[in-house]
Amino acid sequence: MRWLTLTAMLGVAVLLSGCTVTVDGAASAPADAPGDATVVVAEDGYGVELGYQFAPARIEIYIEPLCPACARLQRRYGEDLRSAIERDELRVTYRPLTFLDRSGGYSKRVSNALFAAAEPGSDAGATQVQAFVMQTYRLLSPVGDNLDARGLAAVAGDVGLPDDVVDLIADNAPAVDVEAMDSYNTERFEELTGKRAYTPMVFDLNARAEVDVDDPDWVADVIEGS
């Protein structure tokens, strides 16, 4: 069982120090490929991919919707990510974890909402989904009074997500097996890094290396290194 108390969450002192799990006991583009900033579910079923399929830079971002360090990451770099996605320079895969969600189900609702945006035929835009991620973290409450499904749907509507996605989020309609998602993404994290899962963590799929998100130029560096 994985736990992190609210006291520990609020005690994070380093700017981008992460939320940790505590445990008891590359494709190439055709020469004439047009930009196509899509939103799709990853092939394994447990990530949401944003951006052009053949973008030169590719990263995975491990997030926990209740993680204050994830909120700081999005406040500082979310717009850089959105711009890079819009320019077809970066493809981002969000891999949610839910280890802070001891009650209330907020992390599960946000995770499910991300997968609702990637439902086949939803026509959600990659930059809209990135804006949704950014806005949910802007609205994150430090005292646990977080948005219900209809509140998340209102955020989705405000950032321009399609009506069918907004309706799915409002209904909290199952779009992913959240428990299986959490288990798979935790195992993937640990296989990639050799560490216990924490958030936020950014992994450069081209370099096969964890990204230092304390470096203020990390988004540009990932793109330049691709």
In whole angstroms, what is the distance from residue 218 CA to residue 27 CA? Answer: 22
Entry pTM: 0.87
Instruction: Give the residue, 20 or 34, on which the prediction is more confident.
Output: 20
> Residue 195: is its pLDDT beyond 70?
yes
pLDDT digits (tens, 9 = 90+) for 139-151: 998 877 899 999 9
> Residue 217: is its pLDDT beyond 80?
yes
> Residue 169: is its pLDDT beyond 60?
yes
pLDDT digits (tens, 9 = 90+) for 48-78: 999 999 999 999 999 999 999 999 999 999 9
pLDDT digits (tens, 9 = 90+) for 99-121: 999 877 999 999 999 999 999 98
Q: What's the pLDDT at 18?
A: 83
Question: How high is the mean pLDDT of the chain?
Answer: 88
Helical pair 106-117 and 178-193, crossing angle rounded to 10 deg = 90
In whole angstroms, what is the distance from residue 165 CA to residue 174 CA? Answer: 12
**Fold category of 36-223 in CATH:** Glutaredoxin (3.40.30)
